[in-house]
Amino acid sequence: MNSATFEKGMVFFLPILTLLVSSLLLIILATVFTKGMPALHSGFLIEASEDFGRAGGIFYQLMGTLILMTGAVLISLPVALGSVIYQTQYLKSETGKEICRQSAQVLNATPTILFGLVGYLFFGVYLETGVSWVTGSLILAVMILPTLQVSIREAIEALPDQYKDTGMALGLSPWSQIKKIIIPQCYYGIITGVFLGLARAAGETAAIMFAATTFSGIRLPESFSDPVPTLQTHMLVLTQEAANPEALSQAWGAGLVLLSLVFFLTVIAWVLRSRLKMEAEL
Amino acid sequence: MENDSHGMMWVFAGLNLIFLCCAGGLFFFLIFESYPIFKLHGFDFWLGQDWWVGETYGALPMLYGSTLVTALACLLVLPVSLAVAIFTSEFLTSTSRRCVKAVLELLAGVPGIVYGLLGVSFLSLWIKDVFGLLDGNTLATAGCLLAIMILPTVLTLSEDAMRAVPAEYRDNALGLGLSKWQTATAVVLPQALPGIMGAVLLGISRAMGETIAVMLVVGSLDRIPDPWFNIFSSAQTIPSKLGREAAESIGEGTHWSALMALGLTLFIIVLLINFIGNRFLKRRSIS
């Protein structure tokens, strides 16, 4: 085969492959949708699960997932915001910045199951929060820290230099600059980070399956030491009963809800991010 | 006013310290908790082939399983992502390019448990039927599933790497009479190679740490396949081992310490690969 035919072949073949890869998303969506639809009945989202998850709805599981991810972001946001502000506004030493950058990379690269194990040991055993939604939120908070940091840092670094120069020329102290310029101007970056963090926390299973969750029994947590059922671990348990068609059907239903939740949060983050870009271009 | 400002600096510094402690503490705890097993077994921990709870702990089957599954995923993902990256970066208009990138970002966000469910319901059954196996939960199944999972990461980073090659290179090549395809493969691709290497390494580090999806389809059998290259046998990876067994002995005993030593091993491997990968990606952006 000479090179011209090869080239023609490739130019013909590559679009098909690209289309195929792009349609992977559609394939996954369509599969989850068709498999999950039979489980969805009118009360699926507002009913409790019955018969060890094989029937009924997923209300408490959904609530559990929402509680864990909200808790995670509430804990993670101040730490992420504070650390990025410190690194960008106060920290002058290059070595210090490099250490922070490497640490963020470490957190981002760490396999999530290790967060679950070490987090359970540290929070659950040493700080005595036990197997509870608090432990789960703390673990997820550490896990999503780099996600939040990246978004906030991007927003702060995209601020035009004039803003800072003007602030300094007006004699503002660093704290006033942060309060009056940086936080109001980087608002969208912070919210984008929040939604990306929520999406990441919602999709995570390995980190919370030992430390925060229960399969049946407990419903809404009544104290700080109660575990919660979550969509992710609910699916995990049902998936392992793959021989049972009812259990599998419920797992697909839960999967459909989880996937919709994650995509919804991601798309909101995109909308906010594009708004951020537009503001930066003004 | 000035005092107030100074006080706030310490608040921010404190929050930064919390962040640094999270990263440092992770490493410290893994070493601290796995110390007993290294005291007991020494470096034989990594070479032992048997894992009997309460008797002996050897990590080799899990190490081997992780390596094989990752290598398989990497082999499957590399040609596809290279081809699609070339096409997306060099042939597509910027609007369609942005669409592909958006699709990839959504794909990267699909929860691992959904992939796990897809793997259990389809992939493992297909592999069982196509290759006539008794059990569809094999290394090959896990490798294929991981390939799909890391595809968006590897692809989008490779595409970025190709996109980052300066436009003058392309213009010169086209001006010299090279076709678009020749420009892409002979000019842009070699320039983007370090970035693509970095992308693949980051994909590998993600594949190594993936727990849930792999755990559901790998078969969870703690032995090295016989013969060693038999990818159609059940095996175990480090994260799947941790996922299967950590609940049994959480927080205490030699068993826990052995599991934490596995975790430490995984942590070090993943960080090393990730570090090198980021080095490659950074080299591109400097030059």
- Binned at pLDDT 50, 70 and 90, residue A240 comes out as confident
Pairing state of beta strands A49-50 and B51-52? unpaired
Q: Does A73 touch chain B (CB under 8 A)?
A: no
Q: Within 13 A of A191's CA, how many CA atoms are on the CB side?
A: 15
| Residue ranges of B 167-186 with Cβ closer than 8 A to chain A | 179, 181-182
The Cβ-side half-sphere exposure at A257, using a 13 Å CA radius, reads: 26
Domains and CATH numbers, chain A: 47-281 (1.10.3720.10)
CA separation for the pair A163, B71 (Å, rounded):
49
Q: Does B114 touch chain A (CB under 8 A)?
A: yes
- Give the residue carrying structure tokens 């693949």: B200
Which pLDDT belongs to residue A83? 94
Q: Which residues contact A277 (CB under 8 A, 6 or more apart)?
A: none
What's residue A146's pLDDT? Answer: 94
pLDDT for A60-69, tens place per residue? 889 999 999 9
Q: Residue B206, Cβ neighbours under 10 Å: how many? A: 22
Q: Residue A105: exposed, middle, or buried by beta-carbon count in 10 A (0-12, 13-18, 19+)?
A: middle
User: What band does A268 get if pLDDT is binned at 50, 70 and 90?
Assistant: very high
The whole-number pLDDT of residue B287 equals: 46
Taking an 8 Å cut-off on Cβ atoms, the answer to whether A263 and B263 are in contact is: no
* More confident: B220 or A145: A145
Q: In the block, which residue shows the tokens 């048997």?
A: B50
Secondary structure of residue A173 in the 3-state scheme: coil
Could you tell me the pTM of the whole model?
A: 0.91
Q: What percent of chain A has pLDDT over 70?
A: 96
Nearest CA in chain B to A110: B267
Question: Could you report the per-residue pLDDT of A29-69, keeping only the tens digit for each?
Answer: 999 999 888 888 777 877 777 777 777 778 888 999 999 99
A199: pLDDT confidence band, cut at 50, 70 and 90? very high
Chain A CB contacts of B33 under 8 Å are: 118, 121
Three-state secondary-structure class, residue A55:
strand
- For B205, name the nearest residue in chain A, comparing CA atoms only: A109
- Residues A226-239 have a mean pLDDT of 88
Torsion B7-B11-B12-B13 (CA) sign: positive
Residue B5 belongs to some domain of the structure: no
pLDDT higher at A225 or B243: B243
DSSP string, A94-160: HHHHHHHHHHHHHHHHS-HHHHHHHHIIIIIIIS---SSHHHHHHHHHHHHHHHHHHHHHHHHHTS-
Tell me if B15 is assigned to some domain: no
Say if residue A125's pLDDT is above 60. Answer: yes
pLDDT of A281 strictly over 70: no
Three-state secondary-structure class, residue B56: strand
Find the residue in A nearest to B207 (Cα).
A111
Residue range(s) defining the domain that contains residue B65: 21-286
Question: Is the CB of B26 less than 8 angstroms away from the CB of A112?
Answer: no
Q: Which residue of A has its CA nearest to B240?
A: A113
Contact list in B for residue A145 (CB cut-off 8 A) is 19, 22
Buried b (16+ CB within 10 A) or exposed e, A202-218: bbbbbbbbbbbbbbeeb
Record: contact B113-A111, CB cut-off 8 A = no
pLDDT at position A126 is 83
Residues 189-248 of B with CB under 8 A from A: 205, 208-212, 216, 239, 242-243, 246-247
Count of Cβ atoms closer than 10 Å to residue B275 Cβ = 15
Q: Is A237 on the interface with B (CB under 8 A)?
A: no
Q: Which of B19, B246, B266 sits opposite A103 (nearest CB)?
A: B19
- B chain contacts of residue A149, beta-carbon cutoff 8 Å: 19
3-state secondary structure of A186: coil
Number of domains in chain B: 1
- Residue A43 has which token pair? 């009360």
- In this complex, the residue of B105, B121, B278 whose CB is nearest that of residue A105 is B278
Q: A109 CA to chain B: closest CA distance, Å? A: 7
Task: Please report the pLDDT score of residue B157 as a whole number.
Answer: 93
Within chain B, which residues score under 50 in pLDDT? Answer: 1, 286-287
SS3 letters across B164-206: CCCHHHHHHHHHCCCCHHHHHHHHHHHHHHHHHHHHHHHHHHH
As a residue count, chain B comes to 287
What single-letter DSSP state applies at residue B247? Answer: G
CA distance A70 to A221: 14
Q: How much is the pLDDT for A224?
A: 80
Q: How far apart are CA B231 and CA B221, in angstroms?
A: 13
| Closest by Cβ to B19, choosing from A15, A116, A145 | A145
Do A258 and A231 meet the contact criterion of CB atoms below 8 Å apart?
yes
Tokens of B15: 């929050």
Output the pLDDT for position B235: 87
Q: How far is CA B139 from the centre of its chain?
A: 16
Q: Which residues contact B94 (CB under 8 A, 6 or more apart)?
A: none
Tell me which chain B residues have a C-beta less than 8 angstroms from the C-beta of A241: none
Please name the amino acid found at residue B57: Y
Assess if residue B4 is contained within a domain. no
Q: Are B269 and B263 in contact (CB under 8 A)?
A: no
Give chain A positions within 8 Å (CB) of B137. Answer: none
Chain B residues within an 8 Å CB radius of A25? 103, 106-107
> Chain A: residue nearest B209 by CA?
A111
- Residue of chain B with shortest Cα separation from A266: B106
> Coil, strand or helix: which one is B52?
strand
User: Chain A residues with CB inside 8 Å of B281's CB?
Assistant: none
B79 phi and psi angles, rounded to 5 deg: -60, -40
Phi, psi angle pair for A57, to nearest 5°: -110, -160
Helix H or strand E segment including B148? helix B139-163
| pLDDT band of A280, cuts 50, 70, 90 | low
Residues from chain A that touch B92, judged by Cβ atoms under 8 A, are: 18
Q: How far is A42 from chain B (nearest CA, A)?
A: 23
Q: What single-letter amino acid sits at B215?
A: M
Mean pLDDT of chain A: 86
**Is B2 part of a structural domain of the chain?**
no
Give A149-177 pLDDT, tens digit per residue: 999 998 898 888 888 888 888 888 888 88
- Count of beta carbons in the 10 Å neighbourhood of residue B169: 13
CB contact under 8 A, B111 and A203: yes
Distance CA A241, CA A244 (A): 6
Tell me, what's the pLDDT at B227? 81
Picking from A34, A205, A256 by the largest number of B CB atoms within 10 A of its own CB, the best residue to mutate is: A205
CATH number for the domain including B238? 1.10.3720.10
Q: Is the dihedral of CA B203, A104, B282, B175 positive or negative?
A: positive
B131 touches chain A (CB under 8 A): no
> Tell me, what's the pLDDT at B286?
47
Cβ neighbours of residue A95 under 8 Å, at least 6 residues apart? none
Query: What pLDDT does residue B4 have?
Result: 65
